Structure 1
């Protein structure tokens, strides 16, 4: 490849391909909740910059006290992929649902207080922080989960042929990170987790998010009913949109991921359009909701650390944040599950390790949820 033809870092404009898929007979499982969390960092940083300028130090400490953290490095020890020193960073972003407290009335499903993570994204920040890649990992992917030790020091045995999201349920954040590192061969530099109710509050504090749907969406499981057209979604509606599964596409988790990625782009655009700096109270309310919703790794467990991290994301917006789903195929033995398309997935992880563009061939012919163009930024 010549210098003139070398692509800039990023992901091809296509979010996967249109591989054929027929809905399986019978009912699928009810959907779990989905959340998004990366932009919380930018909101928090903006709030602290303004509040710090007013000398409102006590507000800083209030926000600082909101943040929960887990010591991933201590739990995982040294048996991890090497950190690549090429200026890039990789962040595992999870959505969690404890089915307890304020989450309980929102979630549906079982109400046993157990923790679940049904949204997982590897966010790769390229050198220079002008572009990012987001690779969603389907919760229904069948994987071999490695032995892992949780943050309480309890060891959990390895397991074969289990769903990806069982890692978080089994051993919490540390086990989820170890599983992703085992799956990708990439070291996760940071960990961010946003809870179910926190997502709803963040959208409401932002004043809603505008999206356009190209078809009617009706899903009683996620309590979402939208006619085709443009809508400003409040927190409850946004939560319904990123949870919905039966209302669009082929009814699979892959279709839901495509909706989530479209919503994230709309969310980024919304943040860019809101004059947060003109309203310090709104900034604080947003930062307060953001930090209350967050769990981070111990390297990001202060407002100062979050602010520094967020400042590095200011140059990234929807047009230079490319999103795909990890290459998978439907499991021939169970159409409600997917399996990793090994050779193509390796193309994805190799590109990220080298801080390069993911080739279009990585997603060619892989499974798709058939919901790519249902939702767009309003």
Structure 2
């Protein structure tokens, strides 16, 4: 057989007469065809003692295959990541105005994080109608029946949660729905209506106006989402002291359908939703918040006890359920950002997690509603604003909170008699009318102290829980501080703001009487009002008492 004249054609394997002529500078080890091997020499080693290039080719081929596999896997991972991202629904962070300002970093450069969790009663899908009933409400704007503010401390060592009952009467600010463009005027109504007046961003703005707390993000979940998440988690332990059946009774319609025997039981899927929606069987909407807190604490303990990050299947199930179940504010609308946030929450030990309900009293206008309990509610909000832990289990230094230190005192730019000062009356709250002529009264106090150009703002209709002195630019900081000093307002309440055009005193609901701002005691870690109904995250002995008519 003669050598083929076709370039690159390989002779038959094992044909000794069909070898290609040896090229200069090569060895027989370079001339292998198929599985043929040159007779004589040691297998796998060339005459110079080196391994033949066939081995190198095999290694190169293996490396190429491995690279393809890695790239293919990475590509699949990327596609799955993109799939999870596409699951996430997003919306505008705020759709209403609010004077709340983001907390300043502490001495270590850390800032707290506030997340508003909203449970929607939407019936705008067949699944939600099936789970929640009320078919006649399909297509109506959803209401925010569950609202919880999650506060993660600046040092990430503690977390505080506050629920506001859905039937709390509050001021809802003017909001514009980012999806439809519809504008809604400010109103005084129960807080669950805020979701229907501009989406989750309006609920967030309502909270900020009520509490003075800047809220970084919101997350919403509907009935179907709760069921999906409960199934993905694999069940959560809850407890009742007596057999419970939350069902319609003569004269009392509705009911979640929850039916379980006394003791501790793992609930998931539809039964988990029933637990979270139960109200009549506990005796009130306020006690429903307690049952929800028990569920949340138990869920967190369950997740912490599961090694989900070493179980790929479980992790994927949770990721799939979470991204399909949640709608989030747009600035956290990726899997990575949600994962990073979850990792920060994961660092908090369960005994440093405290669930509470906003202190409240009966609404004087409607016995079926409640309103914030004045000083007690404000104390809770201040603890969050000042990053003071709800528990007393931290170190002494951590328990002091991370409130920003007072700014250095700056020199005024002009004399007090030359400075124009505007005074606003912001003493109105959802439960109390504004104090008449309050801005004029404080303006006269300033005139008496040498600020002769101080005057009341008769055009502004504002409300604010906390008194502040605001200024628009750095050159007026010293002037604003001088005004605050004259009135006894702490320097920490002197804030730069683009909402004002000059030095402005905002007389808040915390200063309804007197000529000098009342001194406030600094809240201490764990010093919650008695009617905050606090539950520690490590308390496994919590058990719901069943209202007698709903026992069986």
- Bin the TM-score by the shorter chain: 0.7 to 0.9
Structure 2 equivalent of residue 135 of structure 1: 162
Q: Distance in 1 between matches of 2:159 and 2:184?
A: 33
- Encode CA deviations 1:221-247: one digit per residue, 9 max, x unaligned: 111111111211121111111111111
Q: Aligned-pair distance for 1:138? A: 0.6
Question: Which residue is 1:219 aligned to?
Answer: 246
Q: Determine the structure 2 residue equivalent to 1:283.
A: 315
Cα distance in 2, alignment partners of residues 156 and 118 from structure 1: 20
Distance 1:276 1:53, change over 3 A: farther
Q: Any stretches of 5+ residues in structure 1 without a counterpart?
A: 1-51
For the 8 Å contact 1:150–1:173, the answer to whether it is kept is no
Cα deviation for residue 277 of structure 1 reads: 3.0
Q: What per-residue deviation string (whole Å, max 9, x for no partner) do you get for residues 6-38 of structure 1?
A: xxxxxxxxxxxxxxxxxxxxxxxxxxxxxxxxx
Asked if 2 retains the 8 angstrom alpha-carbon contact of 1:223 and 1:240, the reply is yes
Runs (5+) with no aligned partner, structure 2 = 1-72, 106-110, 248-254, 391-522, 535-540, 546-552
The separation in 1 between residues aligned to 2:347 and 2:300, in whole angstroms, is 12
Q: CA RMSD in A?
A: 2.3
Q: Is the 8 A contact 1:181 1:187 kept in 2?
A: yes
- Offset from partner CA, 1:243-282 (integer Å, 9 cap, x none): 111112xx21100000000010111111122232343122
Q: Distance in 2 between matches of 1:63 and 1:260?
A: 28
Residues 273-301 of structure 1: CA distance to partner in whole angstroms, max 9, x if unpaired?
22323431221121101100111111101
Q: Does 1:363 align with 2:517?
A: no
Q: Is the aligned partner of 1:172 residue 2:196?
A: no
Cα separation, 2, equivalents of 1:367 and 1:302: 35
Question: What TM-score do you get using the length of structure 1 for normalisation?
Answer: 0.78
TM-score, reference length from structure 2: 0.54
Higher strand share: 1
The answer on 1:230 being equivalent to 2:264 is yes
* Structure 1 counterpart of 2:133: 108
Counterparts in 2 of 1:164 and 1:328: CA distance versus 1, 3 Å:
same
Q: Decide whether the 8 Å contact of 1:93 with 1:122 is kept in 2.
A: yes
Distance 2:337 2:310 in 1: 24
Mapped contact 1:125–1:131 kept (Cα < 8 A): yes
Runs of 4+ off more than 4 Å: 52-55, 358-362, 365-368
SS in structure 2 opposite 1:169? helix
Matched with 2:226 is: 199
Preserved contact between residue 129 and residue 313 of structure 1 (Cα < 8 Å): yes
Aligned 1:1-378 pairs, distance under 5 A:
56-73=77-94, 75-76=95-96, 79-86=98-105, 87-101=111-125, 102-109=127-134, 110-114=136-140, 115-152=142-179, 153-160=181-188, 162-220=189-247, 221-248=255-282, 251-358=283-390, 362-365=528-531, 373-375=542-544
- The answer to whether the Cα contact below 8 Å between 2:167 and 2:369 also exists between their aligned partners in 1 is yes
User: Cα deviation per residue 1:131-186 (whole Å; 9 max; x = unaligned)?
Assistant: 100000110001121112221332211112x1111111222112111111111111
Tell me, in whole angstroms, the C-alpha distance in 1 between the residues paired with 2:531 and 2:346.
34
Question: Which has the bigger relative contact order, CA under 8 A and spacing at least 6?
Answer: 1
